[in-house]
Amino acid sequence: MTARILDGKAVAETINRETAVGAATLMRERGVRPGLAVVLVGENPASRVYVNTKEKKAAELGFHSVKVELPKECTQDRLLAEIAKLNADPLVHGILVQSPPPPQIDERAVVLAIDPRKDVDCFHPFNVGKMLIGDRDGFFPCTPWGVVVLLQRSGIEVAGKHVVVIGRSNIVGKPLLALLVQKAAGADATVTVCHSRTPDLAEHCRRADVLIAAMGRPEFVKAEMVKPGATVVDVGINRVTDPAAKNGYRLVGDVAFAEVAAVAGAITPVPGGVGPMTIAMLMRNALDACRRLTE
């Protein structure tokens, strides 16, 4: 079997077109432009790439797009002061502080400082709680929501299916559980969350109708861990050194793509799978934030 490729880039482009139309409508009807501020502290090269991509996409969709860059020695107080300014800025409806920050920054305090109405990452406990109880007037976190929407728009039904998630991070694994288990369209799944302390991990994976790899280990999921015909979603983006590559590294997911694609029914590529969906859902959240804040 050769798996069908789930084209996250194409689905994300469709969503981005819808978002651009939504932004143009807000401008016409209310004279407001969705504003998204992305904050980068320090010099993590991968974070820099993500932040630049988000800033560019926001501008492309007609948003007011702000990038705040702070030095790697930035203090907690300085960062909190920047967040306070963005909270108070009527032109900014969504705020994102790229994770991970440098070690002197207390990420929990940063998350709590963001106005929950502008928390387009859905990292604030107020919005995490809303997501857990299925309340749609908060936000959904971008990567897990991107996975759910990619499956939905690719015609892959998860209702009544067994979804196995590998990884229990606050950004991906735990919220995926919350989203997929809801009584809702695109959900209604039976969900198993596996992690580094799970015995017989491969055994759990082989029982999955939909297997989602989100633990940040390059090419960890092998063909023998996948039930023939299953859908495999790869959330991982890992830089592995490759002397043959122009910049000395290449990007691989958490799934050994070639061998798993020979067994799976459908699979997301890296890059071009979940990554563009994350950005599309972020833009969608910023649009929703703007709508609500200007009602």
Sign for the CA dihedral angle at 233, 237, 240, 243 comes to: positive
Q: Is 222 helix (H, G, I), strand (E, B) or coil?
A: coil
Q: Choose the binding region for ligand GUN from 68-76, 79-87, 96-104, 197-205 (rule: CB under 6 A).
A: 96-104
82 lies in the site for ligand GUN, by CB under 6 A? no
Least gap, CB of 96 to ligand GUN (angstroms): 5
> Toward ligand GUN, which CB reaches closer, 53 or 198?
53
Q: Choose the binding region for ligand GUN from 65-73, 94-102, 106-114, 195-203 (rule: CB under 6 A).
A: 94-102
- Distant-in-sequence contacts of 255-260, Cβ < 8 A, 24+ apart: 255/213, 255/219, 255/220, 255/221, 256/219, 256/220, 256/221, 256/222, 256/223, 257/219, 259/222, 259/223, 260/3, 260/221, 260/222, 260/223, 260/226, 260/232
Residue 105 and residue 74 in contact, taking contact as beta carbons nearer than 8 Å: yes
- CA neighbor of 205 nearest in space, from 189, 182, 228: 228
99 lies in the site for ligand GUN, by CB under 6 A? yes
Interacting residues with ligand GUN between 169 and 228 (CB under 6 A): 171
Least gap, CB of 110 to ligand GUN (angstroms): 10
Q: Is 121 a catalytic residue?
A: yes
> Toward ligand GUN, which CB reaches closer, 97 or 230?
97
Q: Is 200 a catalytic residue?
A: no
Distance from C-alpha of 252 to C-alpha of 3, rounded to nearest angstrom:
18
Give the residue, chosen from 65, 98, 268, 285, that forms a contact with ligand GUN under the rule CB under 6 A: 98
Distance from C-alpha of 172 to C-alpha of 235, rounded to nearest angstrom:
8
Tell me the two tokens of residue 289: 């934030």
Least gap, CB of 139 to ligand GUN (angstroms): 11
Q: Which residue among 54, 118, 130, 161 is the active-site one?
A: 54
> Toward ligand GUN, which CB reaches closer, 265 or 275?
275
Q: Which residue among 115, 118, 119, 121 is the active-site one?
A: 121
Q: Which residue among 98, 115, 227, 254 is the active-site one?
A: 98
> Toward ligand GUN, which CB reaches closer, 98 or 268?
98
Strands (E), the chain: 4-5, 35-41, 64-70, 94-97, 162-166, 190-194, 210-213, 231-234, 238-241, 249-252, 266-267
Residue 271 and residue 290 in contact, taking contact as beta carbons nearer than 8 Å: no
Interacting residues with ligand GUN between 110 and 149 (CB under 6 A): 121, 142-143
Distance from C-alpha of 138 to C-alpha of 131, rounded to nearest angstrom:
7
Which residue's beta carbon is nearest to the bound ligand GUN? 99
> Toward ligand GUN, which CB reaches closer, 37 or 142?
142
> Toward ligand GUN, which CB reaches closer, 99 or 190?
99
Least gap, CB of 197 to ligand GUN (angstroms): 23
Least gap, CB of 213 to ligand GUN (angstroms): 15
Q: Is 54 a catalytic residue?
A: yes
Sign for the CA dihedral angle at 173, 179, 181, 186 comes to: negative
Residues counted in the chain: 295
Give the residue, chosen from 96, 113, 264, 274, that forms a contact with ligand GUN under the rule CB under 6 A: 96
Active site residues: 54, 98, 121
Residues in contact with ligand GUN by the rule CB under 6 A: 96-99, 121, 142-143, 171
